[in-house]
Structure 1
Amino acid sequence: MSVGRFISFEGIDGSGKSTQARLAAAHLERKGVDVVLTREPGGSPGAEEIRRLLVEGDPERWSAETEILLFTAARRDHLEKTILPALARGAVVITDRFADSTRVYQGAARGDLRQLVDQLHSAVIGRDPDLTFVIDMKPEDALRRGLARKSGEDRFEDMGLEFQIKLREGFLRLVGDAPDRCWLVDGARDAAVVAEEIASRLDAFL
Protein backbone atom coordinates (compact mmCIF):
# COMPACT_ATOMS: atom_id res chain seq x y z
CA MET A 1 0.00 0.00 0.00
CA SER A 2 1.79 3.10 -1.26
CA VAL A 3 -0.57 5.67 0.21
CA GLY A 4 -1.59 5.64 3.86
CA ARG A 5 -5.21 5.57 4.97
CA PHE A 6 -6.67 7.48 7.88
CA ILE A 7 -9.60 5.92 9.78
CA SER A 8 -11.39 7.25 12.84
CA PHE A 9 -13.86 5.84 15.35
CA GLU A 10 -16.43 8.16 16.89
CA GLY A 11 -19.39 7.94 19.25
CA ILE A 12 -20.67 8.96 22.64
CA ASP A 13 -18.85 7.97 25.81
CA GLY A 14 -19.32 4.28 26.57
CA SER A 15 -20.48 3.35 23.07
CA GLY A 16 -17.67 0.85 22.57
CA LYS A 17 -15.69 2.80 19.98
CA SER A 18 -12.36 2.27 21.77
CA THR A 19 -12.90 -1.49 21.84
CA GLN A 20 -13.86 -1.50 18.16
CA ALA A 21 -10.83 0.60 17.22
CA ARG A 22 -8.57 -1.95 18.92
CA LEU A 23 -10.33 -4.88 17.25
CA ALA A 24 -10.11 -3.23 13.84
CA ALA A 25 -6.39 -2.62 14.27
CA ALA A 26 -5.86 -6.25 15.31
CA HIS A 27 -7.84 -7.44 12.27
CA LEU A 28 -5.61 -5.48 9.89
CA GLU A 29 -2.43 -6.52 11.67
CA ARG A 30 -3.37 -10.17 11.17
CA LYS A 31 -3.54 -9.41 7.46
CA GLY A 32 -0.02 -8.00 7.52
CA VAL A 33 -1.02 -4.34 7.29
CA ASP A 34 1.19 -1.69 8.89
CA VAL A 35 -1.21 -0.19 11.45
CA VAL A 36 -0.83 2.68 13.90
CA LEU A 37 -3.49 2.70 16.63
CA THR A 38 -3.83 6.03 18.39
CA ARG A 39 -6.34 8.18 20.26
CA GLU A 40 -7.57 11.67 21.02
CA PRO A 41 -7.08 13.69 22.97
CA GLY A 42 -3.59 12.26 23.04
CA GLY A 43 -1.62 10.13 20.63
CA SER A 44 1.67 11.99 21.06
CA PRO A 45 3.65 12.99 24.18
CA GLY A 46 2.55 16.61 24.09
CA ALA A 47 -1.06 15.77 23.33
CA GLU A 48 -1.17 13.25 26.17
CA GLU A 49 -0.18 16.01 28.58
CA ILE A 50 -3.07 18.14 27.34
CA ARG A 51 -5.41 15.11 27.60
CA ARG A 52 -5.17 15.12 31.37
CA LEU A 53 -6.33 18.73 31.45
CA LEU A 54 -9.39 17.86 29.38
CA VAL A 55 -10.69 14.53 30.68
CA GLU A 56 -10.02 14.86 34.41
CA GLY A 57 -11.43 17.20 37.00
CA ASP A 58 -14.64 19.13 37.52
CA PRO A 59 -17.11 19.25 34.60
CA GLU A 60 -17.10 23.05 34.79
CA ARG A 61 -13.32 23.24 34.73
CA TRP A 62 -13.19 24.80 31.24
CA SER A 63 -15.55 26.77 29.07
CA ALA A 64 -16.43 25.26 25.70
CA GLU A 65 -14.27 27.88 23.99
CA THR A 66 -11.24 26.95 26.10
CA GLU A 67 -11.84 23.28 25.40
CA ILE A 68 -11.85 23.94 21.66
CA LEU A 69 -8.46 25.62 21.90
CA LEU A 70 -7.01 22.83 24.04
CA PHE A 71 -8.34 20.08 21.76
CA THR A 72 -7.02 21.87 18.68
CA ALA A 73 -3.57 22.27 20.24
CA ALA A 74 -3.48 18.58 21.17
CA ARG A 75 -4.72 17.59 17.71
CA ARG A 76 -2.05 19.62 15.95
CA ASP A 77 0.71 17.92 17.94
CA HIS A 78 -0.89 14.52 17.31
CA LEU A 79 -1.06 15.25 13.59
CA GLU A 80 2.55 16.41 13.36
CA LYS A 81 4.17 13.77 15.54
CA THR A 82 2.09 10.64 14.89
CA ILE A 83 -0.49 10.76 12.11
CA LEU A 84 1.28 12.43 9.19
CA PRO A 85 4.56 10.49 9.55
CA ALA A 86 2.64 7.19 9.62
CA LEU A 87 0.56 8.11 6.58
CA ALA A 88 3.68 9.19 4.73
CA ARG A 89 5.18 5.73 5.04
CA GLY A 90 1.95 4.11 3.83
CA ALA A 91 0.53 2.93 7.17
CA VAL A 92 -3.13 2.71 8.10
CA VAL A 93 -3.78 5.08 11.01
CA ILE A 94 -6.73 4.17 13.24
CA THR A 95 -7.64 6.81 15.78
CA ASP A 96 -10.10 6.63 18.65
CA ARG A 97 -11.67 10.09 18.07
CA PHE A 98 -10.55 12.97 15.88
CA ALA A 99 -12.00 16.32 14.81
CA ASP A 100 -15.59 15.08 14.62
CA SER A 101 -15.63 14.77 18.39
CA THR A 102 -14.79 18.44 18.77
CA ARG A 103 -17.45 19.34 16.20
CA VAL A 104 -20.05 17.46 18.24
CA TYR A 105 -18.90 17.90 21.86
CA GLN A 106 -17.83 21.54 21.84
CA GLY A 107 -19.30 22.75 18.54
CA ALA A 108 -22.87 21.61 19.16
CA ALA A 109 -23.58 19.94 22.50
CA ARG A 110 -21.93 22.65 24.61
CA GLY A 111 -23.15 25.64 22.63
CA ASP A 112 -23.49 26.91 19.09
CA LEU A 113 -19.75 27.04 18.42
CA ARG A 114 -19.50 24.95 15.26
CA GLN A 115 -18.29 27.91 13.21
CA LEU A 116 -15.37 28.45 15.59
CA VAL A 117 -14.51 24.74 15.52
CA ASP A 118 -14.55 24.71 11.72
CA GLN A 119 -12.46 27.86 11.44
CA LEU A 120 -9.75 26.49 13.72
CA HIS A 121 -9.84 23.11 12.01
CA SER A 122 -9.39 24.69 8.60
CA ALA A 123 -6.57 26.95 9.76
CA VAL A 124 -4.62 24.54 11.98
CA ILE A 125 -5.54 20.94 11.11
CA GLY A 126 -6.80 20.91 7.52
CA ARG A 127 -7.38 17.17 7.38
CA ASP A 128 -10.24 14.77 8.03
CA PRO A 129 -10.16 10.96 8.10
CA ASP A 130 -10.75 9.00 4.91
CA LEU A 131 -13.32 6.82 6.68
CA THR A 132 -15.15 7.29 9.98
CA PHE A 133 -17.07 4.65 11.91
CA VAL A 134 -19.70 6.19 14.18
CA ILE A 135 -20.67 3.69 16.88
CA ASP A 136 -24.25 4.39 17.92
CA MET A 137 -25.89 3.37 21.19
CA LYS A 138 -28.70 4.54 23.46
CA PRO A 139 -27.28 7.28 25.71
CA GLU A 140 -28.67 5.65 28.87
CA ASP A 141 -26.86 2.37 28.17
CA ALA A 142 -23.64 4.04 27.09
CA LEU A 143 -23.55 6.29 30.14
CA ARG A 144 -23.96 3.33 32.50
CA ARG A 145 -21.16 1.53 30.74
CA GLY A 146 -18.89 4.56 30.74
CA LEU A 147 -19.33 5.34 34.42
CA ALA A 148 -18.88 1.68 35.37
CA ARG A 149 -15.32 1.78 34.03
CA LYS A 150 -14.28 4.13 36.87
CA SER A 151 -11.35 5.23 34.71
CA GLY A 152 -10.81 8.55 36.45
CA GLU A 153 -11.39 10.22 33.07
CA ASP A 154 -15.09 10.81 33.62
CA ARG A 155 -15.35 14.56 33.18
CA PHE A 156 -17.68 14.37 30.17
CA GLU A 157 -19.72 11.47 31.57
CA ASP A 158 -20.22 13.57 34.70
CA MET A 159 -22.06 16.16 32.58
CA GLY A 160 -25.03 13.80 32.73
CA LEU A 161 -27.58 12.04 30.57
CA GLU A 162 -28.99 15.16 28.89
CA PHE A 163 -25.52 15.97 27.59
CA GLN A 164 -25.09 12.43 26.25
CA ILE A 165 -28.44 12.70 24.46
CA LYS A 166 -27.26 15.90 22.76
CA LEU A 167 -24.04 14.16 21.78
CA ARG A 168 -25.87 11.27 20.15
CA GLU A 169 -28.03 13.69 18.19
CA GLY A 170 -24.88 15.49 17.07
CA PHE A 171 -23.19 12.32 15.84
CA LEU A 172 -26.31 11.25 13.94
CA ARG A 173 -26.38 14.67 12.22
CA LEU A 174 -22.71 14.23 11.40
CA VAL A 175 -23.45 10.97 9.57
CA GLY A 176 -26.15 12.74 7.60
CA ASP A 177 -23.83 15.62 6.73
CA ALA A 178 -20.94 13.40 5.56
CA PRO A 179 -22.48 10.16 4.24
CA ASP A 180 -19.57 9.43 1.90
CA ARG A 181 -17.12 9.37 4.82
CA CYS A 182 -19.17 8.25 7.83
CA TRP A 183 -20.48 4.71 8.42
CA LEU A 184 -23.10 4.31 11.15
CA VAL A 185 -22.74 1.14 13.23
CA ASP A 186 -25.20 -0.26 15.77
CA GLY A 187 -23.08 -0.60 18.90
CA ALA A 188 -25.78 -2.23 21.01
CA ARG A 189 -24.97 -5.67 19.59
CA ASP A 190 -22.34 -8.12 20.80
CA ALA A 191 -18.86 -6.66 20.34
CA ALA A 192 -17.78 -9.55 18.11
CA VAL A 193 -20.74 -8.99 15.77
CA VAL A 194 -19.97 -5.27 15.56
CA ALA A 195 -16.30 -6.02 14.89
CA GLU A 196 -17.22 -8.40 12.06
CA GLU A 197 -19.27 -5.73 10.31
CA ILE A 198 -16.46 -3.19 10.69
CA ALA A 199 -13.83 -5.64 9.44
CA SER A 200 -15.89 -6.35 6.32
CA ARG A 201 -16.27 -2.63 5.61
CA LEU A 202 -12.56 -2.04 6.23
CA ASP A 203 -11.52 -4.80 3.85
CA ALA A 204 -13.74 -3.39 1.13
CA PHE A 205 -12.45 0.14 1.73
CA LEU A 206 -8.78 -0.80 1.67
Structure 2
Amino acid sequence: MDEAVYAERGLFVCFEGGEGAGKSTQSRLLRDWLTARGETVLLTFEPGDTPVGKELRRIVLDPATGDLSDRTEALLYAADKAEHVDHVVLPALARGEVVITDRYVDSTLAYQGAGRTLAVPEVEAVARWATGDLRPHLTVVLDLAPEAGLGRFDERDRIEGQSLEFHQRVRQGFLDLAAADPDHYVVLDARAPIDDLAAAIQARIEPLLERA
Protein backbone atom coordinates (compact mmCIF):
# COMPACT_ATOMS: atom_id res chain seq x y z
CA MET A 1 0.00 0.00 0.00
CA ASP A 2 1.28 3.45 -0.86
CA GLU A 3 2.13 6.02 1.77
CA ALA A 4 -0.71 8.21 3.04
CA VAL A 5 -1.32 11.37 0.97
CA TYR A 6 -2.40 14.67 2.55
CA ALA A 7 -3.34 17.50 0.20
CA GLU A 8 -0.83 20.36 0.17
CA ARG A 9 -3.56 22.89 -0.62
CA GLY A 10 -6.95 23.27 1.00
CA LEU A 11 -8.19 21.43 4.07
CA PHE A 12 -9.90 18.05 4.01
CA VAL A 13 -12.24 17.25 6.91
CA CYS A 14 -14.32 14.10 7.28
CA PHE A 15 -17.23 13.20 9.55
CA GLU A 16 -17.63 9.54 10.45
CA GLY A 17 -19.77 7.49 12.81
CA GLY A 18 -22.70 5.13 12.97
CA GLU A 19 -26.30 5.67 12.03
CA GLY A 20 -28.09 8.63 13.59
CA ALA A 21 -24.94 10.12 15.14
CA GLY A 22 -25.54 13.60 13.73
CA LYS A 23 -22.87 13.73 11.04
CA SER A 24 -25.00 15.70 8.59
CA THR A 25 -26.01 18.24 11.23
CA GLN A 26 -22.46 18.85 12.41
CA SER A 27 -21.16 18.98 8.82
CA ARG A 28 -23.61 21.77 8.03
CA LEU A 29 -22.82 23.66 11.23
CA LEU A 30 -19.10 23.48 10.48
CA ARG A 31 -19.70 24.70 6.93
CA ASP A 32 -21.72 27.65 8.20
CA TRP A 33 -19.06 28.55 10.80
CA LEU A 34 -16.25 28.37 8.27
CA THR A 35 -18.19 30.35 5.67
CA ALA A 36 -18.83 33.09 8.23
CA ARG A 37 -15.07 33.25 8.75
CA GLY A 38 -14.57 33.88 5.04
CA GLU A 39 -13.50 30.37 4.02
CA THR A 40 -14.62 28.83 0.75
CA VAL A 41 -16.23 25.52 1.72
CA LEU A 42 -17.43 22.52 -0.24
CA LEU A 43 -19.86 20.28 1.67
CA THR A 44 -20.13 16.83 0.14
CA PHE A 45 -21.01 13.26 1.06
CA GLU A 46 -20.59 9.58 0.27
CA PRO A 47 -22.01 7.59 -1.32
CA GLY A 48 -23.75 9.43 -4.11
CA ASP A 49 -22.41 12.95 -4.71
CA THR A 50 -21.53 12.34 -8.36
CA PRO A 51 -23.76 11.21 -11.25
CA VAL A 52 -22.25 7.72 -11.19
CA GLY A 53 -22.24 7.72 -7.40
CA LYS A 54 -25.97 8.45 -7.33
CA GLU A 55 -26.63 5.18 -9.16
CA LEU A 56 -24.21 3.28 -6.94
CA ARG A 57 -25.92 4.73 -3.85
CA ARG A 58 -29.28 3.50 -5.09
CA ILE A 59 -27.91 -0.01 -5.53
CA VAL A 60 -26.16 -0.32 -2.17
CA LEU A 61 -28.85 1.35 -0.02
CA ASP A 62 -32.15 0.34 -1.62
CA PRO A 63 -33.68 -2.58 0.32
CA ALA A 64 -35.04 -3.81 -3.01
CA THR A 65 -31.48 -4.69 -4.02
CA GLY A 66 -31.59 -7.59 -1.59
CA ASP A 67 -28.49 -9.58 -0.75
CA LEU A 68 -25.21 -8.66 -2.38
CA SER A 69 -21.94 -10.48 -2.09
CA ASP A 70 -20.00 -8.69 0.64
CA ARG A 71 -17.13 -8.22 -1.81
CA THR A 72 -19.48 -6.80 -4.42
CA GLU A 73 -20.76 -4.30 -1.87
CA ALA A 74 -17.23 -3.25 -0.93
CA LEU A 75 -16.29 -2.79 -4.58
CA LEU A 76 -19.38 -0.68 -5.29
CA TYR A 77 -18.51 1.62 -2.40
CA ALA A 78 -14.91 1.81 -3.66
CA ALA A 79 -16.14 2.80 -7.12
CA ASP A 80 -18.21 5.60 -5.59
CA LYS A 81 -15.14 6.85 -3.73
CA ALA A 82 -12.99 6.85 -6.87
CA GLU A 83 -15.51 9.05 -8.67
CA HIS A 84 -15.96 11.28 -5.64
CA VAL A 85 -12.26 11.91 -5.10
CA ASP A 86 -11.39 12.47 -8.74
CA HIS A 87 -14.35 14.68 -9.67
CA VAL A 88 -15.32 16.45 -6.42
CA VAL A 89 -12.73 16.32 -3.64
CA LEU A 90 -9.41 16.78 -5.43
CA PRO A 91 -10.54 19.68 -7.67
CA ALA A 92 -11.85 21.59 -4.65
CA LEU A 93 -8.68 21.00 -2.65
CA ALA A 94 -6.60 22.15 -5.64
CA ARG A 95 -8.55 25.40 -5.53
CA GLY A 96 -7.56 25.79 -1.88
CA GLU A 97 -11.05 25.17 -0.49
CA VAL A 98 -12.10 23.48 2.73
CA VAL A 99 -13.74 20.18 1.81
CA ILE A 100 -16.09 18.65 4.37
CA THR A 101 -17.31 15.15 3.58
CA ASP A 102 -20.02 13.20 5.35
CA ARG A 103 -18.35 9.73 5.22
CA TYR A 104 -15.20 8.61 3.45
CA VAL A 105 -12.85 5.59 3.46
CA ASP A 106 -13.32 4.84 7.16
CA SER A 107 -16.98 4.03 6.53
CA THR A 108 -15.94 1.30 4.11
CA LEU A 109 -13.41 -0.07 6.60
CA ALA A 110 -15.97 -0.02 9.42
CA TYR A 111 -19.05 -1.22 7.53
CA GLN A 112 -17.72 -3.51 4.82
CA GLY A 113 -14.62 -4.52 6.78
CA ALA A 114 -15.55 -4.84 10.45
CA GLY A 115 -19.31 -4.99 9.90
CA ARG A 116 -19.29 -7.61 7.15
CA THR A 117 -16.28 -9.33 8.79
CA LEU A 118 -14.20 -9.07 5.63
CA ALA A 119 -10.44 -8.83 6.14
CA VAL A 120 -9.98 -5.13 6.90
CA PRO A 121 -6.47 -4.92 5.35
CA GLU A 122 -7.85 -6.29 2.08
CA VAL A 123 -10.79 -3.88 2.08
CA GLU A 124 -8.43 -1.03 2.93
CA ALA A 125 -6.11 -1.88 0.04
CA VAL A 126 -9.03 -1.55 -2.41
CA ALA A 127 -10.40 1.64 -0.83
CA ARG A 128 -7.01 3.33 -0.62
CA TRP A 129 -6.28 2.44 -4.24
CA ALA A 130 -9.64 3.86 -5.29
CA THR A 131 -8.90 7.17 -3.55
CA GLY A 132 -5.19 7.43 -4.39
CA ASP A 133 -4.61 7.06 -0.62
CA LEU A 134 -5.82 10.62 -0.07
CA ARG A 135 -6.44 11.09 3.68
CA PRO A 136 -8.41 13.77 5.54
CA HIS A 137 -6.36 16.22 7.57
CA LEU A 138 -8.91 15.57 10.32
CA THR A 139 -11.60 12.95 10.82
CA VAL A 140 -14.32 13.69 13.37
CA VAL A 141 -15.85 10.49 14.75
CA LEU A 142 -19.24 11.05 16.36
CA ASP A 143 -19.57 8.07 18.65
CA LEU A 144 -23.01 6.73 19.51
CA ALA A 145 -24.28 3.34 20.65
CA PRO A 146 -26.19 1.69 17.80
CA GLU A 147 -29.20 1.14 20.05
CA ALA A 148 -29.56 4.93 20.30
CA GLY A 149 -28.77 5.83 16.71
CA LEU A 150 -30.95 3.27 14.98
CA GLY A 151 -33.90 4.29 17.10
CA ARG A 152 -33.95 7.64 15.31
CA PHE A 153 -35.22 6.11 12.05
CA ASP A 154 -38.83 5.24 11.20
CA GLU A 155 -37.69 3.46 8.05
CA ARG A 156 -34.30 1.89 7.43
CA ASP A 157 -32.28 1.55 4.25
CA ARG A 158 -30.44 -1.62 3.31
CA ILE A 159 -27.46 -0.87 5.60
CA GLU A 160 -29.41 0.59 8.51
CA GLY A 161 -31.51 -2.58 8.48
CA GLN A 162 -28.59 -4.84 9.35
CA SER A 163 -28.42 -6.58 12.74
CA LEU A 164 -27.51 -4.85 15.99
CA GLU A 165 -24.37 -6.98 16.15
CA PHE A 166 -23.36 -5.69 12.73
CA HIS A 167 -23.70 -2.09 13.89
CA GLN A 168 -21.81 -2.82 17.09
CA ARG A 169 -18.88 -4.11 15.03
CA VAL A 170 -19.11 -0.97 12.89
CA ARG A 171 -18.91 1.26 15.96
CA GLN A 172 -15.85 -0.55 17.25
CA GLY A 173 -14.29 -0.32 13.79
CA PHE A 174 -14.49 3.47 13.87
CA LEU A 175 -13.04 3.62 17.39
CA ASP A 176 -10.15 1.35 16.41
CA LEU A 177 -9.29 3.54 13.42
CA ALA A 178 -9.29 6.66 15.57
CA ALA A 179 -7.17 5.06 18.29
CA ALA A 180 -4.54 4.07 15.73
CA ASP A 181 -3.99 7.65 14.46
CA PRO A 182 -4.86 10.20 17.18
CA ASP A 183 -3.09 13.06 15.38
CA HIS A 184 -5.67 12.96 12.58
CA TYR A 185 -8.79 12.04 14.57
CA VAL A 186 -11.04 13.43 17.26
CA VAL A 187 -13.69 11.23 18.88
CA LEU A 188 -16.70 12.99 20.40
CA ASP A 189 -19.70 11.68 22.32
CA ALA A 190 -22.61 12.18 19.92
CA ARG A 191 -25.01 12.37 22.91
CA ALA A 192 -23.58 15.79 23.86
CA PRO A 193 -25.66 18.89 23.07
CA ILE A 194 -25.42 19.94 19.44
CA ASP A 195 -23.89 23.33 20.24
CA ASP A 196 -21.27 21.76 22.53
CA LEU A 197 -20.27 19.34 19.80
CA ALA A 198 -20.03 22.16 17.27
CA ALA A 199 -17.81 24.19 19.60
CA ALA A 200 -15.49 21.23 20.20
CA ILE A 201 -15.18 20.62 16.46
CA GLN A 202 -14.45 24.28 15.78
CA ALA A 203 -11.74 24.31 18.44
CA ARG A 204 -10.08 21.29 16.82
CA ILE A 205 -10.37 22.72 13.30
CA GLU A 206 -9.17 26.26 14.00
CA PRO A 207 -5.44 25.47 14.24
CA LEU A 208 -5.64 23.66 10.89
CA LEU A 209 -7.03 26.64 9.01
CA GLU A 210 -3.59 28.23 8.73
CA ARG A 211 -2.66 25.62 6.15
CA ALA A 212 -5.89 25.82 4.14
What's the offset of the Cα at 1:165?
Answer: 1.2
- C-alpha contact 1:12 1:164 (8 A) present in aligned 2: yes
Counterpart check, 1:127 vs 2:101: no
- Alignment partners' CA distance in 1, 2:58 and 2:119: 23
Counterpart check, 1:141 vs 2:144: no
What's the offset of the Cα at 1:58?
Answer: 4.8
Counterpart check, 1:11 vs 2:17: yes
- Alignment partners' CA distance in 1, 2:202 and 2:67: 38
State the AA in 1 paired with 2:142: I
Please provide the CA RMSD for this pair: 1.6
State the AA in 2 paired with 1:142: G
- Alignment partners' CA distance in 2, 1:113 and 1:9: 23
- Give the 4+ runs in structure 1 shifted more than 2 A: 58-61, 121-124
How many percent identity over aligned positions?
40
What are the within-5 Å matches in structure 2 for residues 1-206 of structure 1?
3-58=9-64, 60-125=66-131, 126-145=133-152, 147-148=153-154, 150=155, 154-206=157-209
What's the offset of the Cα at 1:59?
Answer: 7.8
Normalised TM-score (structure 2): 0.89
Which moves more between the two structures, 122-131 or 94-103?
Answer: 122-131
The count of corresponding residues between Structure 1 and Structure 2 is 201
- Alignment partners' CA distance in 1, 2:128 and 2:51: 23
- Alignment partners' CA distance in 2, 1:175 and 1:39: 20
Any gaps of 5 or more consecutive residues in structure 1? none
State the AA in 1 paired with 2:58: R
Normalised TM-score (structure 1): 0.92
- Alignment partners' CA distance in 1, 2:80 and 2:74: 10
- C-alpha contact 1:103 1:114 (8 A) present in aligned 2: yes
- C-alpha contact 1:139 1:168 (8 A) present in aligned 2: yes
Q: Could you give the per-residue CA deviations for residues 75-110 of structure 1, whole angstroms, max 9, x where no partner exists?
A: 111111100100000000000000000011001111
- C-alpha contact 2:89 2:99 (8 A) present in aligned 1: yes
Any gaps of 5 or more consecutive residues in structure 2? 1-7
| Secondary structure of 2:75 counterpart | helix
What's the offset of the Cα at 1:138?
Answer: 1.7
State the AA in 2 paired with 1:190: P
| Secondary structure of 2:182 counterpart | coil
